[in-house]
Structure 1
Amino acid sequence: MITMDDIVREGHPALRERAEEVSLPPAQEEIELLKEMLQFLKNSQDEEIAQKYKLRAGVGLAAPQLGIKKRMIAVHFVDFHDNEYSYGLINPKVVSHSVEKTYLSSGEGCLSVDREVPGYVPRPARITVTATDIDGNDIKLRLKGYAAIVFQHEIDHLNGVMFYDHINSKNPFEAPENANPCDVE
């Protein structure tokens, strides 16, 4: 079972390096890792389990956050419109994105970052992601708003990018150009 002790924190080199493509079909150990990553997210959102194992609630986890430099992510969350997203993905890629931007008015957080980093994180409001799912199927997801933000945050980890790299350092709370907050709908 993955716990907070398994998650690497800021300063770990795996968080700043580009992760490697996973050969397809994935090895059984890679599938097992994805299942464990997904289970961690579910556990972290279960109040009783989270308290027992001292887990911070998370909606996404990328393999580099476990110190594993492979292009794999897990997401598990319900968006502001009650749509559930629960995926273990291999080699996810943003293949298209909107010019229009969005951001969370409360800012973003990260399981690998033990401090609050204030500021808006501008991201494309709509994206299309291709990937291979946990069952080996090629999938294409069209995402917008909160879902688009979560997926971009995790895919950034595969490229050595942290969420705060996107924050305007001179004025962290300046509304990004051509952007609307996605959580004020």
Structure 2
Amino acid sequence: MITMTDIVREGHPTLTEVAKDVAMPPSHEDKKMLTDMLQFIKNSQDEETAKKYKLRAGVGLAAPQLGISKRMLAVHFEDFKGKSYSDGYFNPKIISHSVEITYLSSGEGCLSVDREVPGYVPRYARITVTATNLAGEIVKLRLKDYAAIVFQHEIDHLNGIMFYDHINNSEPFSAPANAKPCDVN
């Protein structure tokens, strides 16, 4: 079982590397790791389990956050309209995105960052992602708003980018040009 002690923190070299593609079909080890990553996210959101194992709640986890330089990520969340996303993905890739930008007015957090980092993180409002899911199916996901933000955050980890790399250091709460906040209404 993955716990917080398995998650590497900012400053770890894997978090700044571009992760390597996973050979398809994935090995038994890679499938097990991705399944365990998804279970960690589910456990982190279960109040009893999270308390018992001292887990911080998360909605996504990328393999580099475990010190594994492979293009794998898992998500488990509901968007603001109640649509559920819960799966693991191998080699996810953003194949298109909107011109429109969005951001969370509350900012973003990360399981690999043990501090508050204030500021707006500009993200594409809509993206299309291709990947191979845990069931071995090639999927094409059209994501918008919160779902698009979650996937961009996790895919950034696969490219060695941290969420705070996107924050305007001189004006962290300056809304990005042509951007609309993506928040619970």
Q: TM-score range by the shorter chain?
A: over 0.9
* Structure 1 residue 135 displacement after superposition: 1.2
Distance across 2 between alignment mates of 1:102 and 1:86: 23
SS, match of residue 94 in structure 1: strand
Letter in 1 for 2:132: T
* Structure 1 residue 184 displacement after superposition: 4.7
SS, match of residue 102 in structure 1: strand
TM-score by length of 2: 0.99
Distance across 1 between alignment mates of 2:184 and 2:125: 14
Identity level (%): 74
Distance across 1 between alignment mates of 2:39 and 2:57: 12
1:55 alignment partner in structure 2: 55
Distance across 2 between alignment mates of 1:149 and 1:43: 22
1:179 alignment partner in structure 2: 179
Distance across 2 between alignment mates of 1:140 and 1:48: 34
Distance across 2 between alignment mates of 1:156 and 1:61: 11
Distance across 1 between alignment mates of 2:16 and 2:134: 25
Q: 1:70-99 CA distances to partner (integer Å, 9 max, x unpaired)?
A: 000000001111110001000000000000
Distance across 2 between alignment mates of 1:78 and 1:141: 15
Query: For residues 138-149 of structure 1, what are the structure 2 equivalents within 5 Å?
Result: 138-149=138-149
After TM superposition, where is structure 1 displaced by more than 2 Å over at least 4 residues in a row?
none
Q: 1:136-172 CA distances to partner (integer Å, 9 max, x unpaired)?
A: 1100000000000000000000000000000001100
Distance across 2 between alignment mates of 1:74 and 1:184: 23
Gaps of 5+ in 2: none
Gaps of 5+ in 1: none
Letter in 1 for 2:88: G
TM-score by length of 1: 0.99
Distance across 2 between alignment mates of 1:127 and 1:172: 24
Distance across 1 between alignment mates of 2:137 and 2:117: 37
2:24 alignment partner in structure 1: 24
RMSD: 0.6
Query: For residues 27-176 of structure 1, what are the structure 2 equivalents within 5 Å?
Result: 27-176=27-176
Q: 1:14-35 CA distances to partner (integer Å, 9 max, x unpaired)?
A: 0000000000000011000010
Distance across 1 between alignment mates of 2:99 and 2:166: 16
